[in-house]
Amino acid sequence: MRRSVNQRFVAGIAAAVGLSLVLTACGSSTTSSPASPGTSTAGTRTAGSSSADSSSADSSSISSSSAGSSTGGSSSGGSSSAGSSAGESASAASNPVTASTAPAAPSVPMATSVGAGEGEVDIVAWAGYVEDGTNDPKQDWVHPFEDKTGCKVKSKVAGTSDEMLQLMKTGDYDLVSASGDSSLRMVYGSVVQPVNTDLVPNYKTIYPFLEKQRWNSVNDQMYGIPHGWGANLLMSNSAVVKTPPTSWGAVFDPNSPYQGKVTGYDSPIYIADAALYLMKTKPELGIKNPYALDDKQFAAAVALLTAQRPLIGEYWSDYTKLVQAFESGDLVLGTSWQVIANLITTDAKVKVTATVPTEGSTGWSDTWMVAAKAKHQNCAYRWLDWIVSPAVNAQVATWFGEAPAQSLACAQPDMTEQCKSFHAADAAYAKGIWFWTTPTKTCVDGRTDTTCADYTAWTQAWTTIKG
């Protein structure tokens, strides 16, 4: 008797748990949405009381939170950072359609001087960009900043460019490490202010080919400080693919001998890779910019990817998954990042080559921007200068796996290899990269006689391609 009551109870509880799982699974799509400003606390943690007794008067307590603290271990923190960044990051076309053709940005006042620090600065960043030693004791450029400037750092990790935009719109943050697909949206949405580069001494030694680009400036006015960049590469397993391919055609070849072992990047933005290939191989389509596709061009890119699908073993967006799949031999060919190639090379289980094919490549480039209504503008400017100072920029680039924007970063000890493998000083290499940008109805290549597929259309097409 008693037992049966117990069992009813257990079964009832279990049923309730199961039901609530369903409900929460569905409901969470609403509750955890970055669209609601209230969720901005999720990743923010306070830590690091160690510098609470900082000598500086206006930094009585340090409340810093680590980028990537929510992802657990240091390695996963690093990896997810690269994943999310490149995944969402983007920029206006690198082969710059001259910035002077851009529509005027809303008028937002620019700083004219940097005064006394406000004692605090609130940052939205990619995981891995604001490290206070929580993930790896050796990776700490937050506490030295706090000690030096008296500005305590509060940071919030954003997983996507969309989330960054939402967070910046709340007005609670002073700084953001925006990628190219969100930077212009922030400029035209009056979310960020122009940056007075005279107030950022370290800006002078930023690589010139990163200055005044379409994703960080409007009509020659800088809206941020370049941070770092990277390219998507064509990677192949050298033991299986004897002749390393030099064209993206290798991943689109319907008769590929590597059927089922090819990979593609699992994001709508990957459609741009197909468009880039078509731009070079099918000039009759008239594609001038892989992010500006009218109906016919878009349909061609989607058709190319649909035809590619049978070749694909799996798509990847998790960077550790790609490393594992290449090392086990399940994948031998496909789109990748420099940092992934480096990791596989370090593990030395398989040998890979990773190159920018003859058609060029897509990639990401990030920019530090200041909120239009920053409450801690002076501290924000101090951070701008700090994060692109040679030693710190070198450290971030190494931890994150990208090319530093600061030319002097490559003169730092042990940076030769990093700068070489990421082609940091190679302007021609950067020129060949079409940095990711958000496709909009208004074609980003400047055409006005037609409309282009916007990102919503890209997302739905991506679902259709995967079938």
Partner 1 sequence: MTITQAKPPAPPRPERSTLRHGISVGLARRAWLRLSGLLSLPLFWLVVAYLGALAAMFVTAFWTIDSFTSELDKTFTWENFRTLVGKPVYRTVAVRSLVVAAGVTLIDAVVAMPIALYMAKVAKPRTRALLVVLVMTPLWASYLVKAYAWRVMLSGDGPVTRLVGTVGEPLYGLGATTVVLAYLWLPYMIIPLFAGIDRIPNSMLEASADLGGRTWRTYRSVLLPLLAPALVAGSIFTFSLSLGDLYTAKIVGGTTQLFSNVIYDNLVTANNLPFAAAAGAFPVLVMVIYLAAVKRTGALENL
Residues within the interface to partner 1 (CB under 8 A): 3-4, 7-8, 10-12, 14-15, 18-31, 33-35, 87-88, 159-160, 162-163, 165-166, 185, 188-189, 260, 267-268, 309, 312-315, 318, 321, 324-325, 328-330, 438, 440-441, 454-456, 459-460, 462-464, 466-467
Smallest separation (angstroms) from partner 1 to the CB of 265: 11
Smallest separation (angstroms) from partner 1 to the CB of 35: 5
Q: Which CB sits closer to partner 1, 121 or 241? A: 241
Q: Which CB sits closer to partner 1, 40 or 377? A: 40
Smallest separation (angstroms) from partner 1 to the CB of 4: 5
Nearest to 147 by CA among 399, 307, 382: 382
Q: Which CB sits closer to partner 1, 22 or 428? A: 22
Contacts of 162 (CB under 8 A, 6+ apart): 34, 88, 182
Q: Which CB sits closer to partner 1, 55 or 463? A: 463
Q: Give whole-number Cα distances, 293 to 38, 152, 287, in Å.
A: 36, 45, 7
Nearest to 181 by CA among 152, 211, 160: 160
Tell me how many helices (H) and strands (E) the chain has. 15, 14
Smallest separation (angstroms) from partner 1 to the CB of 362: 15
Q: Which CB sits closer to partner 1, 44 or 324? A: 324
CA distance 298 to 458: 9
Q: Which CB sits closer to partner 1, 335 or 438? A: 438
Smallest separation (angstroms) from partner 1 to the CB of 110: 22
- Token duo for residue 334: 């496909």
Region of 223 on the Ramachandran plot (φ > 0 left; ψ -120 to 50 alpha; else beta): alpha
Region of 177 on the Ramachandran plot (φ > 0 left; ψ -120 to 50 alpha; else beta): beta
Contact 217, 405 (CB under 8 A): no
Within its chain, how far is the Cα of 8 from the centroid? 51
**3-class secondary-structure state, position 325:** helix
Smallest separation (angstroms) from partner 1 to the CB of 281: 24
For the purposes of burial, counting CB atoms within 10 Å of the CB of 464, is it exposed (0-12), middle (13-18) or buried (19 or more)? exposed
Task: Kindly report the three-state secondary structure assignment for every residue of 347-372.
Answer: HCCCCEEEECCCCCEEEEEEEEEEEC
Q: Which CB sits closer to partner 1, 167 or 225? A: 167
Smallest separation (angstroms) from partner 1 to the CB of 440: 5
Smallest separation (angstroms) from partner 1 to the CB of 384: 25
For the purposes of burial, counting CB atoms within 10 Å of the CB of 13, is it exposed (0-12), middle (13-18) or buried (19 or more)? exposed
CA distance 357 to 125: 31
HSE (CB half, 13 Å, CA atoms) of 248? 26
Smallest separation (angstroms) from partner 1 to the CB of 55: 43
Q: Which CB sits closer to partner 1, 120 or 163? A: 163
**3-class secondary-structure state, position 333:** strand
Q: Which CB sits closer to partner 1, 149 or 160? A: 160
Smallest separation (angstroms) from partner 1 to the CB of 331: 9
